[in-house]
Amino acid sequence: MNIRSVCGYCGTGCGIEFDTDRLIGTIDYPINEGMVCAKGVSELHTIETTDRLLRPHLRKEDGDFIPIDWDLSISSIAHHIRFSDPKRIGIYLSGQMLSEDYYVANKLGKGFIGTNNVDTNSRTCMASAVVAYQKVFGIDYVPVQMQDIDHCDLLILVGANTADAHVVFNNKIQRAKKSGLTTIVIDPRRTETAQQADLHLPIRPGTDIDFLSLVARRIIDDDRADVQYLEKHVNGYVQYLRKIKKIPKVKLLKRCGLTAAQFEAFMTLFYANENIISAWTMGLNQSSQGVDKNLSLINLHLLTGKINKRGNGPFSLTGQPNAMGGREVGGLSTTLAVHLGFDDESIKKVSEFWQTDKIADKAGLTAFEMIEAAERGELDLLIICHTDPVYHLPNRKRVEAALKKVPFIVEINAYDNSETKSFAHLRLPAAPWGEKEGTQTNMDRTITRQERLTRRAIDCKPDWEIFAMIGKKLGFQKAFDFEDAAAVFKEYQEMTRLSERGHLDLSDLDQGSLRGGAYVWGKQLFENDEYFTPDRRANLIYVQNERLSEAVSVTHPFILMTGRTRDQWHSGTKTAFVDKLRKHRPLSFIEINTNDAKELKISDGERVKVSTKRGKLILQAQVTDAIREKTLFVPITERRINYLTNDLLDPYSKQPDYNHNAAKVERL
Q: Which of 422, 387, 423, 421 is CA-nearest to residue 404?
A: 423
Convert residues 169-208 into a mask of x (bound to ligand MGD by CB under 6 A) and - (unbound): -----------------xxxx-x-----------x-xx-x
By the 8 A CB rule, do 447 and 325 touch? yes
| Residue type at position 305 | G
**If contact means CB under 5 to 8 A according to the sort of partner, which of Mo ion, ligand SF4, ligand MGD, none does residue 73 touch?**
none
Calpha distance 116→312 (Å, rounded): 37
233 binds, among ligand SF4, ligand MGD, Mo ion, none (CB under 5 to 8 A by kind): none
Residues touching ligand MGD, count (CB under 6 A): 58
Find the binder of ligand MGD among 99, 161, 395, 442 (CB under 6 A).
Answer: 161
Beta bridge partners of 366: none
Q: Which is nearer to ligand MGD, 305 or 438 (CB)?
A: 438
Q: Determine how β-strand 438-441 pairs with β-strand 446-450.
A: antiparallel
Considering only residues 156 to 185 of the shown chain, the ones binding ligand SF4 according to CB under 6 A are 166-168
Q: Does 387 bind ligand MGD (CB under 6 A)?
A: yes
Using CB under 5 A as the binding rule, whether residue 319 contacts Mo ion is answered as yes
Based on the shown chain and the rule CB under 6 A, indicate whether residue 421 belongs to the binding site for ligand MGD: no
Round to whole Å and give the CA distance between 127 and 124: 7
The mark string for 575-614 relative to ligand MGD (x by CB under 6 A, - otherwise) is ----------------------------------------
Asked if 560 and 596 touch (Cβ cutoff 8 Å), the reply is no
The Cα 34–Cα 456 span in angstroms is 27
Residue type, 409: I
Cα 569 → chain centroid: 13
**Alpha helix (H) ranges present in 570-640?**
594-599
Q: Which of 173, 131, 170, 452 is nearest to 293 (CA)?
A: 131
Amino acid at residue number 186: I
Q: From the list ligand MGD, Mo ion, ligand SF4, none, pick the one residue 631 interacts with, judged by a Cβ distance below 5 to 8 Å according to partner type.
A: none
Interaction of residue 7 with ligand SF4, rule CB under 6 A: yes
Total number of residues binding Mo ion (CB under 5 A)? 2
CB crowding 515-527: b at 16 or more within 10 Å, else e: ebbbbebbeebbe
End-to-end CA distance of the chain: 58
Nearer to Mo ion, 138 or 283 (CB): 283
13 binds ligand SF4 (CB under 6 A): yes
Does residue number 418 form part of the binding site for ligand SF4 (CB under 6 A)? Answer: no
Residues within window 290-309 making contact with ligand MGD, judged by CB under 6 A? none
Q: Which does 168 bind (CB under 5 to 8 A by kind): ligand MGD, Mo ion, ligand SF4, none?
A: ligand SF4
In the complex with ligand MGD, the residue whose CB is nearer, 311 or 434, is 434
Cα 47 to Cα 38: distance, rounded to the nearest angstrom: 16
Distance of CA 63 to the CA centre of its chain: 33
Nearer to Mo ion, 113 or 125 (CB): 125
Among 124, 213, 294, 316, binds ligand MGD (CB under 6 A): 124
Report what 106 binds from ligand MGD, Mo ion, ligand SF4, none; CB cut-off 5-8 Å by kind.
none
CA 101 to each of CA 96, 255, 287: distance values in angstroms, whole numbers, following the listed order: 10, 45, 29
Binding mask 128-157 for ligand MGD (x = CB under 6 A): ------------------------------
Q: What's the closest the beta carbon of residue 11 comes to ligand SF4, in angstroms?
A: 7
By a kind-dependent CB cut-off of 5 to 8 A, residue 211 interacts, out of ligand SF4, ligand MGD, Mo ion, none, with none
d(CA 242, CA 236): 10
- State the Cα–Cα distance between residues 494 and 176, nearest whole angstrom: 39
Stretch that binds ligand SF4, among 3-11, 103-111, 238-246, 270-278 (CB under 6 A): 3-11
Please give the C-alpha separations between residue 608 and each of 159, 243, 603, in angstroms, as whole numbers. 26, 45, 10
Does residue 471 interact with ligand SF4 by CB under 6 A? no
The answer to whether residues 573 and 645 touch, using CB atoms and an 8 Å cutoff, is: no
Let me know: does 334 contact 360? Beta carbons within 8 Å: no
25 binds Mo ion (CB under 5 A): no
- DSSP annotation of 357: S
Least distance between Mo ion and beta carbon 336 (Å): 23
Helix (H) or strand (E) holding 45: helix 38-48
Interface size with ligand SF4, residues (CB under 6 A):
14
Determine the interface stretch with ligand MGD among 54-62, 67-75, 297-305, 379-387 (rule: CB under 6 A). 379-387
Give the type of residue at 178: K
The number of C-alpha atoms within 13 Å of 268 and in the hemisphere containing its C-beta is 8
Contact between 394 and Mo ion per CB under 5 A: no
Looking at residues 118 to 177 of the shown chain, list those that interact with Mo ion (rule: CB under 5 A): 125
Q: How far apart are CA 303 and CA 237, in angstroms?
A: 9
Positions in 22-41 near ligand SF4 (CB under 6 A): 32, 36-37, 39-40
**Least distance from ligand MGD to the Cβ atom of residue 83, Å:** 25
- The span from the CA of 252 to the CA of 256, in Å, is 6
Is 325 one of the binding residues for Mo ion (CB under 5 A)? no
Smallest separation, CB 212 to ligand SF4 (Å): 28
Q: Where are the alpha helices (DSSP H) in 235-377?
A: 237-244, 249-256, 260-272, 282-285, 290-304, 323-329, 344-354, 367-375
Helix or strand run (H / E) with residue 118: strand 118-120
Residue 619 CA to residue 621 CA, distance in Å, equals 6
Q: Is 320 in the site for ligand MGD (CB under 6 A)?
A: yes
* Residue with nearest beta carbon to ligand SF4: 40
Determine the Cα–Cα distance for residues 531 and 480; give it in Å rounded to an integer: 36
Is 645 near ligand MGD (CB under 6 A)? yes
Rounded Cα distance between 452 and 433, Å, is 8
> Interface with Mo ion includes 635 (CB under 5 A)?
no
Q: How far is the CB of 242 from ligand MGD (least distance, A)?
A: 27
- Closest to ligand MGD by CB, 203 vs 347, is 203
Among ligand SF4, ligand MGD, Mo ion, none, what binds residue 258 when CB lies within 5 to 8 Å by partner kind? none
Distances (CA, A) of 513 to 19, 428, 510, 518: 21, 33, 6, 8
Footprint on this chain of Mo ion (rule: CB under 5 A): 125, 319
**Contact positions vs ligand SF4 (CB under 6 A):** 7, 9-10, 12-14, 32, 36-37, 39-40, 166-168
Q: Report the interface residues with ligand MGD, using CB under 6 A.
A: 10, 94-96, 121, 124-125, 158-161, 164-165, 186-189, 191, 203, 205-206, 208, 281-283, 286, 319-320, 385-388, 391-392, 412-415, 418, 430, 432, 463, 561-564, 566, 568-571, 573, 636, 641-642, 645, 658-659
